[in-house]
Structure 1
């Protein structure tokens, strides 16, 4: 039993709020749980039939069948974790009020990078020990400072990574519900809905330097805003993802590379399957969506990583919108906006054994950006890319790519036709519809 935050009276062996009756149990989470909600309550919503891969088989219902004692309103990381633990795999609805900062202890006190740092770890010493002029570029760091960095990272991970149980709906209340500096993980469970939340700044205090990554090395970080890892039947709807207060442009450079403290905004990996992501806003980020995280994951990802993306807004995104391996990914009616002066590499990444269908999308490119780079070939795999509009004009993305980057010739025809679609809008209307309707605070 969770300890109550405020005094109440006992009803049927549980503490309930002073103003609530016995039908609404608090269970130690802020505010009384709601009684059975009316049908139109967004917290009771389920993914509609035929609405993307998440609707396959039994569909995605999340915690829509939750009883009154498994509805919680939370306003801190500790309360969120307690609600997950209390309800287990029973259908549950978690309503998020305000900001849940995951870099806090169980009392709600803020934690800084110094609080996670193992005794003896210092960034200045790490930089001195692994400077390429000293360490070289042929092997990844090892030794005392790298061991201390890894221990520090493990301490932060234990705090900022929070796992969502099966049969759960997590939904933000109002327009300002936010998970700050957290990595929400839907791992090896079934039937989860996440709606109406802003995910901001999942930052890694202890990025690792890898001089062997690429031609000049890279800083690599952990923690995505949201990870679907080996899970099935997931619906992600009307959320906003952003670096927010800590943009990459404000980060320093060490060894000639940005000290990258952000990983992805949304990853679908390790055999995850049957995911629909609709009406989300992905903004101001570098490595945005990774669907299938390794070319070697043949055993786990073959015939998996089935994801539908529709009516999402991608604004000021550098790359991976998404990058796909193995999966049958259906991306339609999304709006991709490349803004003046931003860093931009590509939008759709075609990876090993992928079968990407990208149709009826709108792409808005600022002057100076080459439409040939909208597609990026990582491995030999076919792609369907029909009826897409670039700056208001219908554009054959494959033909433009092959003409502009002939060394990365792409083959047309993904070999399958999506059938799990409900509303398909004219791509010329997509910028207006998606810009107005996507993201947190716009749920109906």
Structure 2
């Protein structure tokens, strides 16, 4: 699937009031920058949590030596490594495939999926013993070795003070996993990401009553990092939707993880004008309830989501632990696979205001909220199918066993313009996603 099809398939609407942004491709030679050059733009003041304190400027201050245009995965990884943490700009031209040689390129010698299925079938292996003790020369051992090969190949470590920006309307990545780990000041804009496919999911017989397939590789991970701005990107399963995945051992052969995770003490993140579509476990804020993780997460995980389109997702848009998360002016469009949007997790302080929800017939507004732990939230000014709805009240009325408390205990101040909820579907539909920066 090419990037042009991604763009049309994901949004399903014409560009209104926006024009394609053309950037001058000059290799590593910088030319005079116009005010409209995306590569030099920084997060506006007051635009969500990523504007807090020092703000987010990415690589806007890069000199000519640290401006790169890349068209291949190897060029992209080389540009990331060049110059350390000095401000850098990486312009992505076209669609870069991190798995261009196919899954076979990562397979360890001797790995055979049919042999894996034969050995670990529940009728022979059972459902009581996991595969962790399997030796290196076993089908599971060979799967592990293959997974290590893929892990090294498709992950890209993003350094501090970096801007990664797509050139024009048809730039992006397939099968890549961006690792924004233990750094400060990163901008990612105007890119379409087709979710990485785990070539070697692991079968865990002990996961649930029937066993389960577990996969790795989030599209983007913000891990222990600060001041990150993700803007006008499109995240999609693209040519590998879960609906097309096979079933083995009676369970979906799951090859996707999340589209965006913000975890392990990350802080000051703004996600604006993105499209998140065609995915199951979409966004995780905080990855564990454990006390050891909580020590690093309490007081952090401050994230803003505004003017994003969440379309045809199952769950986690987002699921929140610990953080003060501000979700306003987003449009949520559900289909028959919908489970919930907001997951209310341990010690979370979610504020969800002035959002619009488009739910199909037969799906109640009570499903928008999902209670995982006791944590109060603020949810007012939201519309469902064009009408004002108190999301907490309708949830508590229809799901009394999971009563939610109102009042997150804080008031967001880092917002730019707040649009009325009734206008959000039109505004977001016209302007969210890659290739639509006005």
TM-score by length of 2: 0.91
Question: Is 2:275 the partner of 1:281?
Answer: yes
Which whole-Å CA distance do the structure 2 matches of 1:128 and 1:40 have between them? 57
Q: How does 1:23-62 map to 2 (within 5 A)?
A: 31-62=27-58
- Note the C-alpha offset of 1:201: 2.9
Q: CA RMSD for the aligned pairs? A: 1.3
Pairing partner for 2:165 from 171, 176, 195: 171
- Note the C-alpha offset of 1:30: 7.7
Q: How does 1:43-442 map to 2 (within 5 A)?
A: 43-103=39-99, 110-142=100-132, 143=134, 144-296=138-290, 297-339=293-335, 342-442=336-436
- Note the C-alpha offset of 1:134: 2.1
Counterpart position of 2:4: none
Which whole-Å CA distance do the structure 2 matches of 1:171 and 1:443 have between them? 12
Which whole-Å CA distance do the structure 1 matches of 2:163 and 2:140 have between them? 39
CA contact (8 A) 1:132 1:255 kept: yes
SS of structure 2 residue aligned to 1:87: coil
Counterpart position of 1:10: none
Structure 2: gaps of 5 or more residues: 1-24
- Size of the aligned set, in residue pairs, is 408
Which whole-Å CA distance do the structure 1 matches of 2:40 and 2:26 have between them? 20
Which whole-Å CA distance do the structure 1 matches of 2:284 and 2:110 have between them? 34
Which whole-Å CA distance do the structure 1 matches of 2:125 and 2:26 have between them? 52
CA contact (8 A) 2:286 2:321 kept: yes
Which whole-Å CA distance do the structure 2 matches of 1:285 and 1:291 have between them? 16
Of stretches 427-436 and 379-388 in structure 1, the one that deviates more from structure 2 is 379-388
- Note the C-alpha offset of 1:32: 4.5
TM-score by length of 1: 0.90
Which whole-Å CA distance do the structure 2 matches of 1:65 and 1:136 have between them? 58
Which whole-Å CA distance do the structure 1 matches of 2:126 and 2:351 have between them? 43
Deviation per CA, 1:78-118, whole angstroms, max 9, x where unpaired?
11111111121011111000011111xxxxxx322222111
Counterpart position of 2:11: none
SS of structure 1 residue aligned to 2:380: coil
SS of structure 2 residue aligned to 1:412: coil
Which whole-Å CA distance do the structure 2 matches of 1:248 and 1:390 have between them? 27
Deviation per CA, 1:41-85, whole angstroms, max 9, x where unpaired?
111111111111100110000001111111111101111111111
Which whole-Å CA distance do the structure 2 matches of 1:214 and 1:304 have between them? 32
- Note the C-alpha offset of 1:33: 2.6
Of stretches 279-288 and 146-155 in structure 1, the one that deviates more from structure 2 is 146-155
- Note the C-alpha offset of 1:40: 2.9
Distance of aligned partners of 1:293 and 1:116 in 2 relative to their CA distance in 1, 3 Å threshold: same
Which whole-Å CA distance do the structure 2 matches of 1:213 and 1:433 have between them? 42
Distance of aligned partners of 1:31 and 1:334 in 2 relative to their CA distance in 1, 3 Å threshold: same
Structure 1: gaps of 5 or more residues: 1-28, 104-109
Of stretches 36-45 and 377-386 in structure 1, the one that deviates more from structure 2 is 36-45
* The structure with more radius of gyration: 1
CA contact (8 A) 1:36 1:68 kept: no
Structure number with higher relative contact order (C-alpha < 8 Å, ≥ 6 residues apart) = 2
Distance of aligned partners of 1:212 and 1:45 in 2 relative to their CA distance in 1, 3 Å threshold: same
SS of structure 2 residue aligned to 1:321: coil
Which whole-Å CA distance do the structure 1 matches of 2:110 and 2:26 have between them? 39
Counterpart position of 2:9: none
